[in-house]
Amino acid sequence: MPKEPFTVVGTAFHTPERGQFEILENHLFGVDRQGRISDLLPPDHPDFEARKKAAAAAGQLVELADGQFLMPGLVDLHIHAPQWPQMGKALDVPLEVWLQKYTFPLEAKFADVEFAREVYGELVDGLLANGTTTALYFATVHGPATLALAEICREKGQRALVGKVVMDDPEQCPDYYRDPDAESAVQETRLFIEAVRAMDGGERPLVMPVITPRFIPSCTDAALEGLGALAREYGCHVQTHCSESDWEKDYVEARFGESDAASLDRFGLLTRNTILAHSNFIGEEDMDLIQERGAGVAHCPLSNLFFANAVFPLRKALDRHMHVGLGTDISGGYSPSLFDGCRHAISASKALHGGVHAGLAPAERGAPGEAITHREAFWLATAGGAEALDIPTGSFRPGHEFDALLIETKAAHSNIYLHRGDSLEDLFEKIVLNATRANIGMVWVSGRKVVG
């Protein structure tokens, strides 16, 4: 939909490449009618003043005030949309209780599309308010409710990749909540893909369909084969859980005699458009394979600690230049904020590499490698996630979608305190480490203002 072009003038922070942190001090950001960054002028550019004046005269200038900064929108690579109502709940019970008593009964309720609309509306509003401009969603097995999620994202203006979950194995899934059989699971997925593409089929769709086997243990071979065929046919995104826990890793090896990643590859489900959630227990060969296919990993540091008893080997993945980003994993993670996600990623990385158990000798305490920095964490939450999804966002570049946050360091309820002597780089660290939803003054997705 064509919009009015506009111009933002102010200072932006971004991490366009891993290991690269850039301050665009006092720059001018032109946003075109399509919501893309048309150009990006430094303050000493000969056209800067004229462009700024023209935008002001046309009523199309957003000039950042003192204490306001621009940052790229955040990309959530793994979130269970139907688990929104239990975010922050039932995290003190064992996994089996969590699944059987809370999670599956809740997801089953999304057979009711009205209920789904209500929850999903609140979810998308909540995530946008937290600065999540792109989300890769697991929905439920239900086609209509999942299509409702896609519609709501489009209406509210969130960039979204949405998957109807497939789980058809009667031995692993509850009777009251599963696909009736492999054939219908695959057919419902096909219908869902076509419906989403019919709804938003342009060259630059805001909402995209995702082939979503819950994980190998919940799917029959026939379903996995059928979904692999769909992935080839439609070339769309794929998501699933991979090697999250000891149990999952062992289950897949016992069933197929090979790793989770290798099995997914055999079914045609490991592609450049695949995102594997967790992947805590992948080995070197799995990493080689994932990287060869160009697939990515959604690192979910909080739920790693709560449900996996292990943390994804992120440093190794970064050193190998794998595609990787961050997921909140709601509601296995309790926080909807990817700023929290950045902090959790740093903490989990510190725990993994520095060690935690004082009873061990220092050299035996942690895994090899350095912990990640706040710059790397922010890259994961923005450009890293976008790169994994192969979408043109996550940093400020001409041609990229204008998915951005206006950060208000001086907002009411802000815990970001600037002091004499703080450099802009210090300030960026203070934002990454202490920003909350209260600091997010405006949010744009493809140039559309969706918050503020």
Q: List b or e across 92-108, with b for residues whose CB sees 16 or more CB atoms inside 10 angstroms.
A: eeeeeebeeebbbebbb
User: Cβ closer to its own copies: 233 or 417?
Assistant: 417
Question: Taking the complex as a whole, how short is the minimal distance between the CB of residue 223 and its own copies, in angstroms?
Answer: 28
111 vs 199 by CB, closer to its own copies: 111
Task: Extract the tokens encoding 136.
Answer: 């890769």
Q: Smallest distance, Å, CB 424 to its own copies?
A: 12
Least Å distance, CB 367 to its own copies, is 5
Q: What is the CA radius of gyration of the chain?
A: 22
What is the enclosing helix (H) or strand (E) of 160? strand 159-166
- Closer residue to its own copies (CB): 7 or 331: 331
Least Å distance, CB 436 to its own copies, is: 5
CB of 20 to its own copies, least distance (A): 15
CA separation (Å) from 188 to 172, 179, 184, 185, 419? 20, 9, 6, 5, 56
Residues at the site binding its own copies, with contacts judged by CB under 8 A: 84-92, 119, 122, 126, 129-130, 246, 280-281, 302, 304-306, 309-311, 313, 334-337, 343-344, 347-348, 350-352, 354-359, 362, 365-367, 373-375, 413, 415-417, 419-422, 426, 429-430, 433-434, 436-438
Nearer to its own copies, 60 or 347 (CB): 347
Residue among 143 and 327 whose Cβ is closer to its own copies: 327
Nearest Cα residue to 193 out of 214, 212, 209: 209
CB closer to its own copies out of 180 and 417: 417
Q: CB-wise, 199 or 351, nearer to its own copies?
A: 351
Read off φ and ψ for residue 27, nearest 5 degrees. Answer: -90, 165
Decide whether 44 or 92 has the Cβ nearer to its own copies. Answer: 92
Six-digit token string for 210: 């995702």
Instruction: Give me the least distance between CB of 88 and its own copies, in Å please.
Output: 4
The per-residue b/e assignment along 68-91, b for 16 or more CB within 10 angstroms, e otherwise, is bbbbbbbbbbbbbbbbbebbeeeb
Structure tokens at 360: 């061990």
Separation of alpha carbons 134 and 127, rounded Å: 9
CA distances from 260 to 171, 188, 249 (A): 19, 24, 7
Query: DSSP characters for 408-445?
Result: ETTSTT------TT--HHHHHHHHHHH--GGGEEEEEE
CB nearer its own copies, residue 307 or residue 402 = 307
The minimum distance between CB 430 and its own copies, in angstroms, equals 4
What is the C-alpha separation between 67 and 49, in angstroms, rounded? 22
- Nearest approach, Cβ of 52 to its own copies (angstroms)? 31
Q: What values do phi and psi take at 298, rounded to 5?
A: -95, 105
Q: How far is the CB of 102 from its own copies (least distance, A)?
A: 10
> Cα–Cα distance between 106 and 103 in angstroms, integer?
5
